[in-house]
Amino acid sequence: MKKIPYGKIDFKRLIEENCYYIDKTMYLEKLENVQDTLFYLRPGRFGKSLFTSMMNYYYDINSKDLFNKLFDGLYIHEHPTNEKNSYYILKFDFSGIDSAEKEKEALEKEFKSCVINGINVFLDRYNFTYEIVKDDSIPIILKSFLTFFKGLKLENKIYILIDEYDNFTNAILEGNAERFKNIVGNEGFIKAFYASIKEYIGLGVVARFFATGICPITLDSMTTGFNIATNISNYEEFNSMIGLTHKEVDNLLNEVVEEKNKREEIKQIMIENYDGYLFNEEAKEKVFNATLVMYLLDFYKNYKSIPKKLIDTNIVVNYGKIENILKLQNNNFYEDILDELLKTSEINGTLKYSFNLLGSLNKDDLISLLYYFGYLTIKEYNEVLNKLKFKVPNKIMKETYNNYFIDILEKLKIEFTDGKLEDSYEEILFESKINKISLYVSEILKLSDNRIFMKFDEKYIALVYYTLLRHPAINTYLEYPCKNGYIDIMLFKNNNLMKNNIMIELKYIKKKDYSEELLNETIKEGKTQLESYSKDERLGNPMKYLVVFVGNELKLLSSIDY
């Protein structure tokens, strides 16, 4: 049986070790037909490194003898292009640079080390004799080497592959835009590096260039040094080039998991937690985070069970990055964006394809940054507003935002008492009641009232419920879609510990608007909605509760039976 390639990014090793490989080789001919100089951006952990590794072996002139061994059974083996094994590959890998808290000199030293390493690998691979003058500047080192290669007057040219071209600059950007400008700006070593590549593309020494990354800020900042590249990240035909489609996940599940019921269970978990990414509004296929799919399958293959933690601790998403992005340049949009995403998980905006860090960032810039880093994805095009609707892609990302919300509350000295939470969980699990959790929500609302920027409304109350209702035995959803609308809060059993599914309809009345008449109208409306939602047989005959808050006070909690 084949192995799960979790954590493997070298294509040759993956094939030699008999690992599953999701065939993406059909995209090679598509890339060749677009342009010679390309950038491709995707969030982290989607499979960019493996793709560039595959390109490395396909185009490398020294890997001709490996073609049948490595590509047998793949699309490109039966449909090879004219450019197969016809280039000298010069590969730079910047994924390992750690830019945290480092100044320009230290980063420049690390960057230079990566450039020198890339050239040395090239010299070893092709058995060329050339001495690098390590004391020279980065552009001089690169230019001198490319001049040496030009002087060899070889028939075949260089193909430059760059993995994570923006890795260290993105880390700078997340915390310090000013430092980013100093490094990538007009006098920075980054712009000079790419200007050197552009020069030798013009001279015909470098025939092709392909770089992966996450965000177009670096790309935009260096355009005066490298304004010849085509950014194909949002092309519909390349939507699924990185990441896994539903069909690809199904094929993997059929290979790895024997029982059909278990395959369906695992697929549903993956859809909820790893899926939902769309990189073009016209694209038909959403894609999964490839690394997380492989993590779950690798765990299942080894232990015949689903991991309790659905995200590997080695790649856990840090909610602090969201804060750093949203607070860039002390902009005025941070609170509005976060308020909307926490409450609705959706937001309208215009996708920006480049950013000007010399000016101020607007709301669309910040939304776009969250999209490029994978904290948002495209949902659809809104024709009325002439904008895209973005959404939080999946449950793991929703949890990331929610952890940020908890951090906000804790900074306000609002503590989450374990004892009260445990009592609330026991009542939910064993009695299918929500009395204790609702009283606890009311307590937190009173403490946070007028102390937090999020507008106090029904959605804010639902957010507090969602924040508290995180337990291994409970699958909690906000705005859960059913046949007749959206349920405010839906609690599904995650195992036999919980007796019943629970449906909660929330209602909110402002204190200044309160009257007995309005309360009765609100109760009637809530009961009607619960009755309508209950007609969806997929919900499994849940317990139904109507909860009404007047201001921050719990006014009514009623179990509804029909």
**What pLDDT does 228 receive?**
85
Residue holding tokens 């909605």? Answer: 529
**What pLDDT does 385 receive?**
86
Q: Is 19 exposed, middle or buried (0-12, 13-18, 19+ CB in 10 A)?
A: middle
Alpha-helix residue ranges (DSSP H) falling in 27-84? 27-32, 48-59, 67-71, 75-78
Closest by CA to 201, choosing from 35, 336, 80, 73, is 35
Is the torsion defined by CA of 528, 530, 531, 533 positive or negative? positive
**What pLDDT does 393 receive?**
97
Residue holding tokens 């690390």? Answer: 110
**What pLDDT does 410 receive?**
87
Q: And the tokens for 247?
A: 């069909």
Cα distances from 466 to residues 124, 336, 461, in angstroms, run 56, 20, 9
Cα distances from 247 to residues 3, 7, 251, in angstroms, run 19, 22, 6
Is the torsion defined by CA of 249, 254, 255, 257 positive or negative? positive
Give backbone dihedrals phi and psi of 13, rounded to 5 degrees, phi first.
-65, -40
Judged by DSSP in three states, 560 sits in strand
DSSP 430-489: HH---HHHHHHHHHHHHHHTTTSSS--SHHHHHHHHHHH--BTTEEEEEEEEETTEEEEE
**What pLDDT does 215 receive?**
87
Q: And the tokens for 29?
A: 């001919």
Closest by CA to 500, choosing from 481, 474, 528, 535, is 474
Contacts 24+ apart (CB under 8 A), 280-286: 280/234, 280/235, 280/236, 280/239, 280/378, 281/378, 281/380, 281/381, 281/388, 282/236, 283/236, 283/239, 283/240, 285/239, 285/240, 285/245, 285/246, 286/245, 286/246
Q: Are 456 and 449 in contact (CB under 8 A)?
A: yes
**What pLDDT does 221 receive?**
66
Residues sharing a CB contact under 8 Å with residue 417, sequence separation 6 or more, in sequence order: none
Judged by DSSP in three states, 160 sits in strand
Amino acid symbol at 418:
D
Q: Rounded to an integer, what distance in angstroms lies between the CA atom of residue 60 and that of residue 67? A: 10
Q: Rounded to an integer, what distance in angstroms lies between the CA atom of residue 204 and that of residue 225? A: 17
**What pLDDT does 85 receive?**
98
- Tell me the residue length of the chain: 562
CA angle 68, 8, 87 (to 5 degrees): 45
**What pLDDT does 515 receive?**
97
The string over 145-172, giving b where at least 16 C-beta atoms fall within 10 Å of a residue's C-beta and e elsewhere, is: bbebbbeeeeeebbbbbbbbbbbbbbbb
Amino acid symbol at 332:
N
Closest by CA to 444, choosing from 458, 464, 426, 463, is 464
Q: Rounded to an integer, what distance in angstroms lies between the CA atom of residue 205 and that of residue 150? A: 6
**What pLDDT does 361 receive?**
86
Q: Whole-prediction pTM value?
A: 0.93
Q: Rounded to an integer, what distance in angstroms lies between the CA atom of residue 531 and that of residue 560? A: 9
Q: Rounded to an integer, what distance in angstroms lies between the CA atom of residue 290 and that of residue 275? A: 9
Amino acid symbol at 219:
L
Q: Are 250 and 370 in contact (CB under 8 A)?
A: no
**What pLDDT does 492 receive?**
95
Residues sharing a CB contact under 8 Å with residue 101, sequence separation 6 or more, in sequence order: none
Domain borders along the chain are 11-238, 246-315, 319-391, 412-560
Residues sharing a CB contact under 8 Å with residue 13, sequence separation 6 or more, in sequence order: none
Judged by DSSP in three states, 116 sits in helix
Closest by CA to 193, choosing from 218, 171, 212, 173, is 218
**What pLDDT does 444 receive?**
93
Please, which residues bridge with residue 244 across strands?
Answer: 288
**What pLDDT does 81 receive?**
98
* DSSP one-letter code for 47: S
Closest by CA to 378, choosing from 366, 365, 392, 397, is 392
Question: pLDDT per position in the chain (562 positions), as tens?
Answer: 799 999 899 999 999 999 999 999 999 999 999 999 999 999 988 999 999 999 999 999 999 999 999 999 999 999 999 999 999 999 999 988 876 666 778 888 999 999 999 999 999 999 999 999 999 999 999 999 999 999 999 999 999 999 998 887 776 666 666 677 777 766 678 888 999 999 999 999 999 999 999 988 776 666 566 778 899 999 999 999 999 999 999 999 999 999 999 999 999 999 999 999 999 999 999 999 999 999 999 999 999 999 988 887 666 666 778 888 888 888 889 999 999 999 999 999 999 988 766 678 899 999 999 999 999 999 999 888 899 999 999 999 999 999 889 988 888 888 877 788 999 999 999 999 999 999 999 999 998 877 788 888 999 999 999 999 989 899 999 999 999 999 999 999 988 899 999 999 999 999 999 999 999 999 999 999 999 999 999 998 999 999 999 999 999 999 988 5
Give backbone dihedrals phi and psi of 4, rounded to 5 degrees, phi first.
-85, 125
